[in-house]
């Protein structure tokens, strides 16, 4: 059994594969955003999702004060874009891909698998992070594609293993 430390917990969580998302908001007319995997649905009626953001991150203030945000689920062809976005200065991040807006004015990444445009419903603190619940008021779904996945410290795509199971 491994000792439960912050470092071991973080290393263990790196094995929890998850979709790569751009969390974005418009702040004083400028697009702001970050990559995140801590996103999930809460309920379908009313359509609500959650994002978890470190309280020291710029997006924490952007969402808590602006009350609007967009979650863009990246497709596996956007892995280079995601890397450039992650490494870029905050003022240059949105120069690496096309974006527009849907309902809230928050930047929505074009060609993402899906964009969920949300208004902040409620939030609560959980240790060093805040969990933001957003009511989805606009969305756009792509016709096809596979999710870009973050796992074990790197990006990956999905592979259909259903045929492996039938053998």
Please, what is the end-to-end C-alpha distance for the chain in angstroms? Answer: 34
Question: What is the pLDDT, as a whole number, of residue 2?
Answer: 80
Q: How far is CA 80 from the centre of its chain?
A: 16
Question: What is the pLDDT, as a whole number, of residue 96?
Answer: 84
Q: Label residue 22 exposed, middle or buried (CB < 10 Å: 0-12, 13-18, 19+).
A: buried
Q: Are 19 and 73 spatial neighbours (Cβ–Cβ below 8 Å)?
A: yes
Long-range contacts of 81-87 (CB under 8 A, 24+ apart): 82/20, 82/22, 82/35, 82/148, 82/155, 83/155, 85/22, 85/33, 85/35, 86/35
Q: What is the mean pLDDT of the chain?
A: 93
Comparing CA positions, the residue from 13, 19, 48, 18 lying closest to residue 109 is 19
Percentage of the chain exceeding pLDDT 70: 97
Instruction: Give all domains of the chain, ordered by start, each with its CATH number.
Output: 17-152 (2.30.110.10)
Give the CA count within 13 Å in the CB-facing half-sphere of 19: 19
Bridge-partner residues for 99, per DSSP?
109
Question: What is the pLDDT, as a whole number, of residue 167?
Answer: 59
pLDDT at 165 over 70: no
pLDDT at 57 over 70: yes
Q: What does the pLDDT average to over 58-87? A: 94
Structure tokens at 107: 């930047």
Q: Position of tokens 């470092």?
A: 7
Question: What is the pLDDT, as a whole number, of residue 166?
Answer: 64
Structure tokens at 42: 């809460």
pLDDT digits (tens, 9 = 90+) for 4-53: 999 999 888 888 999 999 999 999 999 999 999 999 999 999 999 999 99
pLDDT at 153 over 90: no
Phi, psi for residue 38 in degrees, rounded to 5: -85, 70
Bridge-partner residues for 34, per DSSP?
23
Pick the more confident residue, 140 or 13. Answer: 140
Whole-model pTM: value is: 0.92
Q: Band of the pLDDT at 102, cuts 50, 70, 90? A: very high
């Amino acid at each position: 059994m491994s000792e439960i430390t912050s470092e071991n917990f973080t290393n263990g969580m790196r094995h929890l594969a998850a979709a790569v998302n751009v969390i974005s908001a418009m702040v004083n007319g400028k697009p702001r955003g970050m990559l995140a995997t801590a996103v999930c649905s809460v309920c379908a009626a009313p359509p609500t999702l959650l994002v978890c953001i470190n309280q020291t991150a710029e997006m924490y203030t952007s969402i808590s004060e602006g009350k609007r945000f967009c979650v863009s689920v990246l497709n596996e062809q956007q892995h280079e874009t995601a890397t450039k976005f992650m490494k870029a200065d905050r003022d240059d991040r949105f120069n690496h891909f096309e974006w527009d807006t849907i309902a809230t004015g928050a930047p929505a990444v074009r060609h993402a698998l899906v964009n969920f445009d949300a208004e902040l419903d409620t939030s609560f603190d959980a240790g060093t992070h805040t969990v933001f619940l957003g009511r989805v008021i606009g969305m756009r779904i792509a016709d096809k594609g596979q999710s870009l996945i973050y796992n074990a410290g790197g990006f990956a795509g999905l592979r259909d293993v259903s045929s492996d199971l039938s053998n």
